[in-house]
Amino acid sequence: APKKGLKDYYKAYFPVGVAVGRAQLQGPEAELIKQQFNSITPENAMKMGPIHPEEDRYFWTDADAIVNFAQANKLRVRGHNLLWHEQTPKWLFKNADGSRVSKEVLLKRLHDHISAVVKRYQGKVYAWDVVNEAIADNPQEFLRNSEWYQICGDEFIAKAFEYAHEADPKAQLFYNDYNTERPEKRERVYKLLKQLKDAKVPVHGVGLQGHWSLQEPTEPELRAALDQYASLGLKVQITELDVSIYPWEKDRRAKRPGESDAYTPELARQQAAQYKMFFRVFRDYKSVLTGVTFWNVSDKYSWLDTYPVAGRKNYPLLFDQNQQPKQAFWEVVQF
């Protein structure tokens, strides 16, 4: 096992974080968290569906356990997230009679939710992903046609930031999204952030999820994105880093009969080279980047094993299924 943690190697650069569930607060994954990282994010526990299952009931147990673990082990906590179009609770967009809520009702629910969650963790969560993935996938469109958008128009975004700022004026508030280095998406994320800044909405940073692959992003794409977001005077963080061994989109599918999903030496080599490049760029941008968070601890548990369909093993992280450092780990810490 490595003697030093990622947090130690990167002490002069930025905090290095990890997203986890409650199950990882014990056993070998917990040991690795304590040894390697100085920031933690609940992978699911603070999302609206899990934490606010009914209008008049919150489920704090899992999120509290992660925050308590963080406090006991001196990890900072990034909250994720306050508003998303996925993992929403069933009651959220509906009246008691099953009809759709009005904009007024939905904004009131959003206010009450954000206020309750942010105040509970005030002083313990230093940064929040306030709005997650509000930009459309289709490059011809701007905002995603989510239920939030259908009911509220574009107003819900600014409101979410205002409610969060009101609940905890000291918290750093982020807009978080994926594919933020692809030029067409980058321009639209930039446009949204620029609009929010111009309207004096309390947004302090942009989270680049960093669900990357062996092919994407290229070094020039990554640098162009960091430059463009930094030009807005925002903090930039990599919030959900993993490097899939399968290409995105074209190859999101189950395993075919007889097909291998083994982690070959060639894949390990390519992945190590990709991680090495990413962290070299991150170090170059140390005045812009205020955090890099991995989307889980080891290849034993990754959302990519089951997203979008189960059946093909992925190996996206720096530690293998036995919590041992991979070639990619050694490339990341050698500089």
Query: What distances in angstroms separate CA 14 from CA 133, 223, 240, 290, one per listed residue?
Result: 24, 17, 15, 5
> Catalytic residue among 43, 133, 162, 181, which?
133
What residues from 234 to 253 belong to the interface with ligand XIL (CB under 6 A)? 240
CB of 99 to ligand XIL, least distance (A): 28
> What is the Cα–Cα distance from 58 to 48, expressed in whole angstroms?
9
Q: How far from chain centre, in Å, is Cα 97?
A: 35
Active site residue 240: yes
Binding test (CB under 6 A) with ligand XIL, winner from 18, 37, 39, 43 = 43
88 close to 49: Cβ distance less than 8 angstroms: yes
| Binding of residue 44 to ligand XIL (CB under 6 A) | yes
| Binding of residue 213 to ligand XIL (CB under 6 A) | no
Work out the number of other CB atoms within 10 angstroms of the CB of residue 224: 15
Environment class of 35 (CB within 10 Å of its CB; exposed 0-12, middle 13-18, buried 19+): middle
What residues from 131 to 190 belong to the interface with ligand XIL (CB under 6 A)? 132
What residues from 110 to 139 belong to the interface with ligand XIL (CB under 6 A)? 132
How big is the chain by its Cα radius of gyration, in Å? 19
> What is the Cα–Cα distance from 48 to 85, expressed in whole angstroms?
10
Q: Which residue is nearest to ligand XIL (CB)?
A: 303
CB nearer to ligand XIL: pick between 44 and 324: 44
CB of 221 to ligand XIL, least distance (A): 19
CB of 148 to ligand XIL, least distance (A): 15
> What is the Cα–Cα distance from 63 to 206, expressed in whole angstroms?
23
Binding test (CB under 6 A) with ligand XIL, winner from 24, 209, 293, 314 = 209
What residues from 53 to 112 belong to the interface with ligand XIL (CB under 6 A)? none
CB nearer to ligand XIL: pick between 110 and 272: 110
> Catalytic residue among 43, 162, 240, 331, which?
240
Look-up of token digits 């369909």:
309
Active site residue 181: no
Give φ, ψ of 333 to 5 degrees: -100, 0
| Binding of residue 303 to ligand XIL (CB under 6 A) | yes
> What is the Cα–Cα distance from 63 to 72, expressed in whole angstroms?
14
CB of 311 to ligand XIL, least distance (A): 16
Which residues are catalytically annotated?
A: 133, 240
Residues that bind ligand XIL (CB under 6 A): 43-44, 132, 209, 240, 303
